[in-house]
Amino acid sequence: MQITRDLGWKPSIYDIIEYMSGLPSDKQLHLKKAVRLYLKFIKRKDLLEFFEGGWSSSTSSGDVVTISLAEALGAISLASYMDPVYAIYLCTLLVTGLRPCEVKSITWDNQLVALDPRIFKLEKMERKTKRAYYAFTTPALLEALEKLKDRPRRRTNKIVIYRREVEYEVLKKIKHVYQKFEPRLLRDVNSWILTKAGIQETIVKFIHGWTSKEVFYKHYLRPQMTREEALLEILHMHNQALKEIDKWLRENILAKL
């Protein structure tokens, strides 16, 4: 493999695993994706088990750290005492299942008010969004976001905005209690919640942006459904699955704004 030649190695799976072990978890994941793709290309599926995760799944696995729902809510609760705005950002990650870069790119102009204000359409923007097409929120989260929108001196149309120095201080505090916590892992927790609620994998992948919207509409929806009807049905399933999370958000976070 080219990477092994560049590093002066012989092409050994174990050398790559050893090299990956010294990388941060996010870089491990990206390298793992590349290796899996190469192994599929050269038809060495017998080696794929060494590199679980990556493009084979919408959630982290193997040696990539995941967190529990209790840890996620605990981290958000800690954040709310230091900066409620940043806590709402973490809540948005947990509820929507989007990547951090995608949440940061959403503006109020993306809101599908005529269809349902809880749905936002993500515009494809280089380096900001990857595969997600829609963001599905919940009543309490939308209420929290609207409170942020109405704050005085707010000069941005983005649904969530916070100061970077605040993020540093809040995450440092959270990591004292939950050492493995990373905002991006809230996407995995969202996937777990939706799956546990009985939502089929294809729907979960669509919510997370892994399934092409064209393929999804063509093959996984009832033929008589319109795009709008499909989105409203997915929103209903999403909101039902996150009903208890939304209640927790209203009782523990929304009151502090």
Domain residue ranges of the chain, discontinuous segments joined by +: 2-56, 69-256
How many C-beta neighbours within 10 Å does residue 58 have? 21
Q: Which helix (H) or strand (E) holds 92?
A: helix 84-96
Alpha-carbon span 166 to 186, nearest angstrom: 19
pLDDT at 55: 32
Which CATH number among 3.40.47.10, 3.30.70.1380, 3.40.640.10, 1.10.443.10 corresponds to the domain 69-256?
Answer: 1.10.443.10
CA distance 21 to 62: 12
pLDDT value of position 90: 96
Contact at 8 Å (CB) between 127 and 224?
A: no
Q: How confident is the model at residue 122 (pLDDT cuts 50, 70, 90)?
A: confident
Has residue 128 got a pLDDT over 90?
Answer: no
Check residues 67 and 120 and name the one with the higher pLDDT.
120
Q: Under a CB-based contact definition with an 8 Å cutoff, are residues 199 and 237 in contact?
A: yes
pLDDT of residue 20: 63
- What average pLDDT does range 119-124 have in this prediction? 83
Task: Pick 230 or 93 by higher pLDDT.
Answer: 93
Average of per-residue pLDDT values in the chain: 80
Indicate if the pLDDT at residue 64 is higher than 80.
no
Question: Quick one: 97 exposed, middle or buried, by C-beta within 10 A (0-12, 13-18, 19+)?
Answer: buried
Instruction: Write the pLDDT tens digit of every residue in 9-53.
Output: 555 655 566 566 556 666 767 777 777 787 777 777 766 655 554
Confidence of residue 183 (pLDDT cuts 50, 70, 90): very high
Local structure of 72: helix, strand or coil = helix
What are the residues facing 135 on neighbouring strands?
120
The residue among 81 and 209 whose pLDDT is bigger is 81
Q: For residues 126 and 193, which has the higher predicted lDDT (pLDDT)?
A: 193
Shortest CA distance to 116 belongs to which of 102, 89, 88, 135?
135
User: What is the pLDDT averaged over residues 142-167?
Assistant: 83
Choice among 65-74, 87-96, 123-132 with the minimum mean pLDDT: 123-132
DSSP state at residue 111: B
Instruction: Give Cβ neighbours of residue 203 (< 8 Å, ≥ 6 apart).
Output: 194, 220, 234, 237
Confidence of residue 57 (pLDDT cuts 50, 70, 90): very low
The CA-based angle 133-149-160, given to 5 degrees, is 50
User: What are phi and psi for residue 232, nearest 5 degrees?
Assistant: -70, -35
